[in-house]
Chains A and B, each alone.
Chain A
Amino acid sequence: MPNPLKRLAAALLAVVATISASGVALAGEHDSRVPTAAAYVKHVFIIILENKSFSSTFGTSTQDPYLQQTLVPSGALLTEYYGTGHVSLDNYISLMSGQSPTQDTDNDCLPGFTGTIGNYNDVNQTGWAAQGQVVAQGGCIYAKDVPNLPKQLDGARLTWRGYMQDMGNDPARESATCGHPTIGIGTDNTNSGEAPSAAVPLGDQYATRHDPFMYFHSIIDDQAYCNEHVVNLNVLPADLKDERTTPNLVFITPNLCNDGHDGNGTGDPGTTCVNGQPGGLTSADAFLKAWVPQITSSPAFKKDGLLIITFDESNYTENVSVNSATGQEVVDITFPGQTCCDEQPGPNLAGIRPGTFTLLNTPTLEEQIVINGYGGDQIGAVLLSPFIKPGSTSSTPYNHYALLKSIEDIFHLDHIGYAADDARTHYRLNTIGEDEDVFLPGPGIGFSHSSGHEFTSGAKPPWF
């Protein structure tokens, strides 16, 4: 039950933690960091989907009934969860390392657009900025000394694996473990999906840019280590069979179709994935329906699991107008680029975000992309766990940096990059382990925005 003294103690410890925001955790800090039942989580599962707005995913779309009507009522909905950038890759990297974008990761390492290096090449690091941010002149693969969550887990003797759907389906395209292009070779052939053929009957829709582990030398340079940790999704069922074989962190990336990146979900001709599937939220929903029950019925999840389902970034709005002076049709594809949580742009986005990029300018048509901010906009997230209050909702703001911090708290790890608070700028992220709106009570007292959360006896966890 709520206890004023405990709340005071927790607040004091939070102050101490803020002061120690250099990234070094204090001994005994953990309990204050995770006051809810999230403290009991020992296995975190993450599924990242692609490019959908909160208002669609959890509102207007009719393509994801399983997510909206089955998973949301079974878990907790974080309504104010934001991506950290546009477009994809920078979001995955912020979640894994707390690093803000480089001039290339902000655009999936497409060369010659906002960055000059692009493709699968090393970050050209020129220094360090506050909160461990890499100062860069472009590039995509971070140097060995850039901290990341997987290496933190290693250091704490915790286990992790990345499960990448389709990786290695075509072994000529990429390896079935630790699949990435050769550094410096040019075009990343995993940028587009490969349709089925006689030699590759399932096709191959693995995308390196949706596999964050491939962007850290500390992971990819040790081939055996990388092979062991970044594997095809088809390995997951075996790993789930026993708690001892289930990694503490299970990171799942569906293929380009099943994460909603490709296809618009209708199945209409000309709008599908390369394998003919509808893609969009339709395929994402089918993926969740196939895989979430496997996760939630696993021994590790049932004992102490937390599954987080979210997206990398939100979608855009499209405006079509006519330029009265030129008569051109003007198509504006606009990302609001909204942030939450006092997100910082980082040291590398000057002149890039916000930005307007004219991509086509003919006598009849002008196409431009307008990115009005450096955030990733509102995407939402669903949490499932034995420690979650089913059907609960939280409007506390979170983003990928906050999720990283949350996971670090759960696993008693230091905070890295923008997951670390900065007392100098009063930068402090909320973490889901503090959120009493969605988590059952734990060892401490967290925060709640709802008025009271007295549980009925039936909703109480066994240790309550």
Chain B
Amino acid sequence: MQNIGVVPKQASIVLAILATAALPRVPLHAAGASSADAATLVALGREAFFDPSLSASGRMACATCHSPAHAYGPANGLAVQLGGPGMDRQGTRAVPSLRYTLNRTPIWSKEFVASAAERILEGEEPPTGGFGWDGRFNSLRDQAVFPLLAPNEMANASREAVVAKLQRATYAGDFRKAFGAQIFDDPRMAFAALLAALERFQLDDLSFHPFSSKYDAYLDGKATLTPQERRGLALFDDRKRGNCATCHLDRKGADGSHPIFTDYQFEALGVPRNPELAANAAPGYFDMGLCGPLRTDQANQMKFCGLFKTPTLRNVAARRVFFHNGRFHTLKEALRFYVRRDTDPQLWYPVSPTGTIAKFDDLPARLRRNVDVIDEPLTRRKGAPPVWTDAEIDDVIAFLKTLTDRDVEMASR
């Protein structure tokens, strides 16, 4: 059906946002109309994604941190990864999985309900979407620039430096075929072409969304959950206790599509400060997510400080690092934090000699009120019983293991 009226206008605005005005349009047909179609872009993007020669160290590819065998998440249990020219510079945030979320991540937005009454009555929605823990990128093209140039990641000095490496890559000829023989004559265009290829690969390649977990088979009626897994699912869904499914959506979509286990919304959990991060040695350093320091455009929004985007839980049981700062290294520990954050805060936060607990210590004191104390299971008082026993946590873990894709499960054996 042809769209008319305001629809095309919206579409053009949205597409402009998604395509990123800051980057030049790539002459996809410069070297022949059929050579730079989506499949070609995917193939080129795959080459680049796995190519360590695109880094200053020559040892770091996108896939170094985003390992396909680990659901495009980290292959190790480091809180944050090492990069830079000497592969010795620490990052500041745990590496997220790239599986499942990329196609459906909305652009970063904060819905503004015009009526204050409805905002209050119906609950103000938190910000949503964007790529990265702080949602600061609205497209994968934008996002890819960051690791390519970040001094503690692939550490290229400039876009031109990236293109110079790309020009020497084994697949440089394929780039010329796709984008024209002179593509490398214009580093700006060549860099944009690289970003387009990386984006297309991550959006289209089936390895990013295989839907091959036991839970997928269960949703299709091709597998049954064990009693323990069923108990775990019930605990996961129970709004009065675990309440996990409110943010980590676990039901089929209206069209029967399988859930991604995130609502892409931002949340302040009050995860404890992680001493494993070198940056945290500075007492005045705080990674506050939405309000900075990496993200800068919301720096004045104090109510956004401490909020990070909800990750998918698919393949979570295969991870060895949890939350934005990698504070926890086992799933059981991460779940215990959820259910005992408030009942046993001394387990997680520093306790002064006088017995004062510095709850939510990874935020400046004045901003700790941003942490969620409204939604279950984050409402409990100190000393109250946690919503789950250790045995129930094991049940939930059993359920979460059903979210592991078949290839990830095989690779971990």
Contact = CB atoms under 8 A, between A and B. Distances in A.
A333 B117 contact: yes
A279 B109 contact: no
B7 A172 contact: no
A67 B45 CA distance: 49
A275 B254 contact: no
Given A262-B112, A273-B112, A367 B129 contact: no
B229 to A, nearest CB: 21
Contact of B10 (A172, A198, A202, A360): A202
A454 interface: no
Interface stretch (B120-128, B280-288, B397-405): B120-128
Nearest to B11: A202
Contact of B112 (A237, A270, A333): A270
B170 interface: no
A271 B112 contact: yes
- Choose among A113, A172, A195, A315 the residue with the greatest number of B CB atoms under 10 Å from its CB: A195
Contacts of B106: 194-197, 200, 203, 274
Nearest to A318: B116
Contacts of B246: 187
A261 B114 contact: yes
Nearest to B246: A187
Interface residues of B, number: 50
B102 A294 contact: no
Nearest to A264: B114
Contact of B254 (A175, A194, A287): A175
Interface string A285-298: 01100110010000
B358 interface: no
B6 interface: yes
A275 B128 contact: no
Given A171-B254, A196-B18, A201-B18, A262 B103 contact: no
Given A87-B118, A110-B122, A316-B115, A237 B253 contact: no
B114 A262 contact: yes
Given A171-B254, A171-B257, A277 B13 contact: yes
A369 B117 contact: yes
A151 interface: no
A264 B116 CA distance: 11
B251 interface: yes
Interface residues of A, number: 71
- Chain A at the B interface: SS class: loop
Contact of B255 (A172, A192, A237, A275): A172
Contacts of B15: 201
A235 B1 contact: yes
Contact of B121 (A107, A182, A195, A256): A107
B51 to A, nearest CB: 23
A174 interface: yes
A272 interface: yes
Contact of B129 (A175, A197, A256): A197
A294 B107 contact: no
Contacts of A333: 116-117, 120
A192 B125 CA distance: 7
Interface in B239-254: 239, 246, 249, 251, 253-254
Contacts of A235: 1
B373 interface: no
A51 B257 CA distance: 34
Nearest to A52: B114
B226 interface: no
A447 to B, nearest CB: 35
Contacts of B107: 195-197, 275-276
A198 B203 contact: yes
B11 A238 contact: no
B121 to A, nearest CB: 6
A360 B110 CA distance: 21
B128 A274 contact: yes
A238 B112 contact: no
A191 interface: yes
Contacts of B116: 316, 318, 333
A311 to B, nearest CB: 12
Nearest to A286: B6
B114 A280 contact: yes
Nearest to A171: B255
A108 interface: yes
Given A110-B122, A197-B105, A201-B18, A234 B113 contact: no
Nearest to B257: A172
Nearest to A367: B120
A198 B104 contact: yes
A138 interface: no
Contacts of A258: 6
B114 A199 contact: no
A256 B128 CA distance: 16
A234 B203 contact: no
A369 B120 contact: yes
Nearest to A199: B103
A120 B95 CA distance: 38
B352 interface: no
Nearest to B4: A237
A1 interface: no
Contact of A315 (B7, B115, B203): B115
Given A195-B109, A197-B103, A258-B6, A203 B257 contact: no
B14 interface: yes
Given A173-B253, A197-B106, A290-B5, A202 B14 contact: yes
Contact of B104 (A191, A197, A276): A197
A57 to B, nearest CB: 13
B412 interface: no
A175 B104 contact: no
B104 A274 contact: no
10 contacts: A51-B118, A87-B117, A195-B128, A196-B17, A197-B107, A198-B203, A234-B1, A262-B111, A264-B114, A276-B13
Interface of A: 50-51, 86-88, 107-108, 110, 113, 171-175, 179, 182, 185-187, 189, 191-203, 234-235, 237-238, 256, 258, 260-265, 270-277, 279-280, 283, 286-287, 290-291, 294, 315-316, 318, 333, 335, 357, 359-360, 367, 369
Given A87-B118, A172-B253, A262-B113, 15 more contacts: A51-B118, A87-B117, A107-B121, A108-B121, A179-B254, A191-B122, A197-B106, A198-B103, A237-B2, A261-B115, A263-B112, A263-B114, A270-B112, A276-B14, A367-B120
